[in-house]
Structure 1
Amino acid sequence: MIINTKPFFRSKIRKNLLLLFLVLSMVSCAKREVLKTETFKTNSGWGYSISYKEKTIIKQSIIPVISDKKSFSTEEDALKTADLVVSKLKQNLSPTVTKNELILLKIKL
């Protein structure tokens, strides 16, 4: 007597592949939750905001670490600083910015 077991194993493999596909889809969707940067116009220049899952976590309308309360002179300067802060957050570092870092980014102070 010969028993054909191929259909059983094929259906089991299909179920496992489907489960694997679903798990990988969920993982890839979870990784899409990224920090989002946006610039905005202020009365005297530009600022930036950083959001995570549609919630603003940082809103910076003035240049940090300088004594004057003035905004970034260009949108590009605001975006460069926001990108620096995001890179620090991704590395689990403090998001504070130093004056030296602003100088290295060539931000007009």
Structure 2
Amino acid sequence: MTINRTHKLVLLAAILIAVSSTFYLLAVKQAPSANGLHYNCFKTENGWGYDVLYNERVLIHQPMIPGKSGGSGFDSEKAAGADAKTVIEKIKSGEFPLFGQKQQQRSGVLRTQ
């Protein structure tokens, strides 16, 4: 059985469509858009925390101040919200939302010493 040129082109087109559809579904469609990102602050035993959500799906659950030992929460709902806003801005700009003490001082979460 031989495959003629037309069948080869149809097979190649089908493979390209399958690969590009898979790429779109896995890479492009899964990336959060800026419009669906938001946060909710919540009270914990040790202070305040926040969730970063995308269309009501929790992306980040942060019940304590990241990078600070002891597991203490944020001092206020405002401080938790400031941190959450910074995380959302990092996600929107394509950065990985990691924090060191300098970034937290800039967002007003930690006091400078």
Give the TM-score category using the shorter length: 0.5 to 0.7
Secondary structure of 1:73's aligned partner: coil
Secondary structure of 1:66's aligned partner: coil
RMSD between aligned alpha carbons? 1.7
Distance in 2, matches of 1:36 and 1:42, equals: 19
What is the count of residue pairs matched by the alignment? 79
- Higher Cα radius of gyration: 1
Q: Which aligned segments of 4 or more residues in structure 1 are displaced greater than 2 angstroms?
A: none
**What is the percent sequence identity of the aligned residues?**
29
1:64 aligns with 2:66: yes
Query: When the two structures are superposed, what TM-score results if normalisation uses the length of structure 2?
Result: 0.64
1:78 aligns with 2:80: yes
Query: When the two structures are superposed, what TM-score results if normalisation uses the length of structure 1?
Result: 0.66
| Superposition map of 1:1-109 within 5 A | 33-108=35-110
Structure 1 residues not aligned, in runs of 5+:
1-30
Structure 2 residues not aligned, in runs of 5+:
1-32
Distance in 2, matches of 1:108 and 1:73, equals: 9
Distance in 2, matches of 1:98 and 1:87, equals: 16
